[in-house]
Amino acid sequence: MSTFSVSIVSKGEELVYDEAGRRYCFEVFLGRQPLQLFAGRYWTGSLPVVFYELSEDEKQRIIPRLVSYLGSHGEEVEVVWKE
């Protein structure tokens, strides 16, 4: 099992997932219920910002971890796939 970390930055509007030397940044909206994770695309944190789509393997591995992290205090989490 790989080691990973999750943090929320940019005034709670960006979720950063680091795993095996790779960084995935996602937009989140924590201002209402359910919390929203915009999973349709990610960026790496580098400039200029370039957006990427997750592979199927990444979707299956990363998104459940992010939902678990965001919902760790009982909050409902909505995964938004549209860009």
Q: What is the DSSP string of the chain?
A: ---EEEEEETTTTEEEEEETTEEEEEEEE-SSSSEEEEEEEEE-S-SS---BPPPHHHHHHHHHHHHHHHTTTS--EEEE---
67 within some domain:
no
The pLDDT value recorded for residue 82 is: 76
64 within some domain:
no
pLDDT digits (tens, 9 = 90+) for 23-71: 999 999 998 899 999 998 999 999 999 999 999 999 999 999 999 999 9
Minimal CA–CA distance to 27: which of 19, 40, 18?
A: 40
66 within some domain:
no
The pLDDT value recorded for residue 10 is: 75
Task: Count how many domains the chain has.
Answer: 1
Q: Report the alpha-carbon angle 32-83-14, nearest 5.
A: 50
Whether 48 contacts 38, CB under 8 Å: no
pTM of the entire predicted model: 0.90
pLDDT for 83 beyond 80: no
70 within some domain:
no
